[in-house]
Structure 1
């Protein structure tokens, strides 16, 4: 759960709370892109998806940016949207409908592991074992104490918890011939007046990089995450960009200083080199590369920043230990040892066949009282 409880609205409406987003080439069917969004922290094995939400994936083709620019990719204006909605709970079987960018629809039953297929799209939805890999308590201790607090081994917080998963497998031919795409998932209210409640691209942007207030000397009392959630991931509005930059500049500097040295030098405006990249908050996936289990997360972005060709499909795979990659870049820019949180794999790893995520835990741990 890299994005759970990422703001007051997510806490108030857990059914709309996105916990994680994944995007990777299908390991079983070449030429297919797998999109996964997990919601509802601490879901029960009998929970159903909301009939009051739109569960949305947005994809845009990417092109290379200006050499030396902190944001190495430019998102195009063309967009491919996959919207999923669900029938009201209470019936014998909940039904879902996914609308494709061309307007075609795919119907499916919730909890049917075969899913529904049509128009080059296959869809599954239902409770699943949370695949996220992280010692969350150690990360929070690191922020509160200012000292790296990871141990080996570490532990996954409340391991065995469930989430509500939506898996959409897409024929890459439906994406307009793009080689490189940006991916973001959203939950929105369903009705005449649609409001974006949550949007997620990369993991831990909101909770580890935007949430801490104590290092930000400009907006120390401002809760930014609900404002950030309402933004368009591909085009931030002008109103709060200064607040986002100030918070990220402060928090990224905190992470960089945990090893006692500075590996990321600020620019002439005092901006951290990763601030603009973080704000371009979408997963980057190369549709021409094969599935990679480990080491693909951030590889495309980091290669571009170094002026090198990338080697992997990028994105984020279900079994990729992305937190070690993320903390290593934040703390030492890859110039030192790997920053491990002591957790290297999920207790129930994902499969390489549809619907990929492991079945739900029939007896999940109880959530903490304050959640």
Structure 2
């Protein structure tokens, strides 16, 4: 894609020219409204430990018989954020949910819960010397976790006392952080592995999209807003059959994924400053197809969306079929908004792509494609959907399906997928029959992460150590 900085008149002319071109991949173009969910709703913006920022799901490129799912939390971590740095919350459930039959309810949930540990409460230091291992006595504060696999039949403990990779304090304290982080990768019974710890924020975009879509004249683009920041990540890699309906990924290759954060319902602070938590878990944050809560759900409904389960998503459907983003772009850049209702977007957000699902007539990533799914029990819901039968691409294309790469977004989401550029294109109707495949120049000019991703699990780059404000 050409990333010039067009004027309003140039963008309008580009649309008019492109409209006469045939769109060979238009029927497989990606969805609108999917990017990252940093500080997406009023309540969760004040609770960063509970704020899930991104979900990724892809067939593992170096282990193609497995799927890797990554969910990130705690956005905009400045690397030098001591003395407490960035622990996961305790008394909180961090969940990744899998729906293999399309009824909008989890068939499998992976749940992490965390415990704080201190060696010496008499010091202010996170570490009291150079840390060379997870068990180093100089690592004063550390976290452990319990990982459970939850199904409708019950719960199985997969990891009882897993170690969290610590926040990266700095090179003086952790001179070989890569090795330290790798030792936090934990094997799972029956195959697979998991990781909990800090990483570079792998999402790349210019967030000035929220400032009148790049200043109102599309001239202020190209700055990676989250470059240099870190996140906390939970990653899990498991065989495909573990995730598939009836344990058979050949017959049932499509799964839906979302993550949630839930905390206990009430907290009381006692006179001695101790705290008592009461009640069961209450969901307070949710993420499947990112940016849905930012730019699809209106301000007054964002906290409600975070507390809602996918099975109840029908109440938000009208915000998908009548999206706000194209109207705002029309006001600013004179690009005509596609006619509503946007059933193309409803298909991608709420059902996945299949010939029986809606106007985008292609079988790609709806659970309705699974042979053991009862179509009568299928329910529209917002999820990130992945067809596990599509193998990894040797040279991934950043525009995913829009670039002809069926292993990319919206068929799951890889770390390298340029979802913001895809979002802007799809918002302008690239899914619609007869529409151009892309509007030349419509993107944020941030095409890749600022640091390379790792080639092996958990794939995200190591956390940044240099101050974000160093320049």
Normalised by the length of structure 2, the TM-score is: 0.63
Cα shift at 1:365: 2.1
Q: In 2 relative to 1, CA 335–132 (structure 1 residues): closer, same or farther, beyond 3 Å?
A: closer
Counterpart of 2:439 in structure 1 is: 336
CA distance in 2, matches of 1:298, 1:75: 27
Counterpart of 1:345 in structure 2 is: 448
Post-superposition CA distance 1:305-349 (Å, at most 9, x none): xxxx99436111112211111111112523532622111111112
Normalised by the length of structure 1, the TM-score is: 0.78
Q: 1:77-92, aligned counterparts within 5 Å?
A: 79-90=107-118, 92=141
Cα shift at 1:237: 5.9
Q: Which runs of 5+ in 2 are unaligned?
A: 1-34, 80-84, 120-140, 166-180, 265-277, 351-380, 431-436
From 50, 70, 94, give the equivalent of 2:89: 50
CA distance in 2, matches of 1:93, 1:250: 44
CA distance in 1, matches of 2:349, 2:333: 21
Counterpart of 1:142 in structure 2 is: 212
Cα shift at 1:203: 2.2
Query: Which one has more relative contact order, counting CA pairs under 8 Å at least 6 apart?
Result: 2
Q: In 2 relative to 1, CA 170–235 (structure 1 residues): closer, same or farther, beyond 3 Å?
A: farther
CA distance in 2, matches of 1:321, 1:78: 28
CA distance in 1, matches of 2:195, 2:309: 26
Q: Which has the larger radius of gyration?
A: 2
Post-superposition CA distance 1:48-105 (Å, at most 9, x none): 211121110111125xxxxxxxxxxx44656111111111253543111211246131
Q: 1:81-160, aligned counterparts within 5 Å?
A: 81-90=109-118, 92-101=141-150, 103-107=156-160, 108-111=162-165, 112-114=181-183, 115-119=185-189, 120-137=191-208, 139-143=209-213, 147-149=217-219, 151=221, 154-160=222-228
From 231, 244, 269, give the equivalent of 2:308: 231
Counterpart of 2:391 in structure 1 is: 290
State which drifts further: 255-264 or 91-100: 255-264
Post-superposition CA distance 1:122-174 (Å, at most 9, x none): 1111111111110112x1223486554553xx011152011111111122121
How many residue pairs match? The answer is 330
Q: Which secondary structure does the structure 2 equivalent of 1:104 belong to?
A: strand
CA distance in 1, matches of 2:49, 2:95: 14
From 32, 41, 45, give the equivalent of 1:11: 45
From 403, 407, 417, give the equivalent of 1:312: 407
1:168 equivalent in alignment to 2:218: no
RMSD over aligned Cα atoms? 3.1
8 Å CA contact retained: 2:398, 2:447: no
Post-superposition CA distance 1:340-366 (Å, at most 9, x none): 211111111212201211111123426
Q: In 2 relative to 1, CA 208–236 (structure 1 residues): closer, same or farther, beyond 3 Å?
A: closer
Q: Which secondary structure does the structure 1 equivalent of 2:421 belong to?
A: helix
